[in-house]
Structure 1
Amino acid sequence: MASTFPDYYAFLHISQTATTEEIRTAYKKESLRTHPDRLTNATPEEKRAATERFQAVADAYYVLSDTTRRREYDSLYSTRNRRETEPDVSSSANFFAQFANMFGGSTAGATPPGRPDADNVFGDVFEELLRPEVQRHGPWWSWTGGVCGAGIGFIVANVPGLMVGAYAGNRLGAIRDAKGKSVAAVFGELGGNERAQILKALAMKVLGTAL
């Protein structure tokens, strides 16, 4: 029978005395290793298993990175025997179904009944590293603005107008890129191969090796 209580310390491969910074570092490593978007040629079953693992790692970080949530989790953890806290990823969903209310229910960026959104957790933690990679691979509004501005400028003033219009449109588009969407949202809109390339670049920065 699958465990009904997840061992979040085992999910992140850390000790129960880990510091907040150690928890954050562990999450970065495990989320990159388990991110389903790096499996470009995976079968549906492999993709599903990776997605479950990626979500469970996000759950572990969500609980352990917050002092109050960690204290409440630890109080439950201490009452379980070793057999009940095996690192079975399916136990994480059961945990949130049973105990989400002790975290105050749904929170910003979470999906009912309080379980965090794995993509948003990933985007928040990796924002500083992810933003330049996302902008390099997918400056959607900058390109769109540039093309539209160039077209209007050419109609108004031929080639000189095209150049001025392209620049103005590009700058307006860049503002839209910066303020219109979160890094996680833009990352999710990229193609599968582009996401895999970004994850590989992040792995080199965080792990020192490509996935």
Structure 2
Amino acid sequence: MADLPDYYSVLEVAPTATNEDIKRAYKRAALKWHPDRVPSDSAERPKRTKMFQRINDAYYTLSEPTRRRDYDEARRFSGGGASTSFDDDEADEEVPRAQGGGGPSWANMFGFGKKADGQEDAFANDQFRGAFEEMMGDADMADREGDTAVPNKRFWSIIGGISGFALGFIAGDIVGAIPGAAVGSKMGSIRDAKGKSVYAVFQSLDQSQRARVLSELASKILSGAIS
């Protein structure tokens, strides 16, 4: 059996952490390590991608009571320690994987195994979506419409301030661009016509714009403005 990762250490929480503690820790860690915080050609990108995936595996395991209980049992069986610190250099280490397409060999106990690179990225992004939209709402950058978070004027003012314009394909597939000064007042009706969620719009932005939104959220998380 492969060594059991210390997921509590990955999220920097104690083994006695509550579900809310784990959720808050996931938000902090995901924002800290999200690959879009750096350019696509950055030498740091592979390390961030690996760590982001590990953070999502940790949250997947610890956020659900049955998976957490089984993980804790496996951790006790393997003699796992109770370290709550995490060395950034650990993100450079490979997580042992089972042969023949399995995940870390122990991970199949918890319902997830090794995925192809694209599938692993998709899993991390899908799980991050919910936390992202919740944080956007808490940060007053999005409004709730039913179960969907949609961008509001604050969101678009950030994007407009970065680039000076919003790309046409966001603005109802119109050829050209909308000047940044007009973004806040225009995007409400465009958003409603397009029906895009805030996460879908976020993913359609270019990397520098995504980095700015993530940085805004990270600063609010660290200041305690949102949980």
TM-score interval for Structure 1 and Structure 2 normalised by the shorter chain: 0.5 to 0.7
| Residue equivalent to 2:129 | 123
Alignment check: 8 A CA contact 2:39 2:45 kept: no
**Greater percentage in strand:** 2
SS of residue matched to 2:223:
coil
| Residue equivalent to 2:221 | 206
Q: Alpha carbon RMSD of aligned pairs, Å?
A: 3.8
The Cα offsets for residues 85-135 of structure 1, whole Å up to 9 and x where unpaired, read as: 9964532766834244433458xxx967x9671112222112123363683
SS of residue matched to 1:144:
coil
Q: Distance in 2 between matches of 1:79 and 1:204?
A: 39
Q: Does 1:194 align with 2:209?
A: yes
Task: Using structure 2 for the length normalisation, give the TM-score.
Answer: 0.63
| Residue equivalent to 2:55 | 57
Residues 32-181 of structure 1 aligned to structure 2 (within 5 Å): 32-40=31-39, 43-44=42-43, 46-82=44-80, 88-89=90-91, 90-91=94-95, 96-104=103-111, 117-130=123-136, 132=141, 135=151, 136=156, 137=159, 143-144=171-172, 147=174, 171=189, 173-178=190-195, 180=196
Alignment check: 8 A CA contact 1:5 1:92 kept: no
Quote the sequence identity (%): 33
**Greater percentage in helix:** 1
Identify unmatched segments of 5+ residues in structure 2. Answer: 143-149, 160-165, 176-185
Deviation at 1:42, TM superposition (A): 6.1
SS of residue matched to 1:207:
helix
Task: Using structure 1 for the length normalisation, give the TM-score.
Answer: 0.67
Count how many residue pairs are aligned between Structure 1 and Structure 2: 179
Deviation at 1:183, TM superposition (A): 3.9
Identify unmatched segments of 5+ residues in structure 1. Answer: 149-166
Query: Aligned AA for 1:205?
Result: K
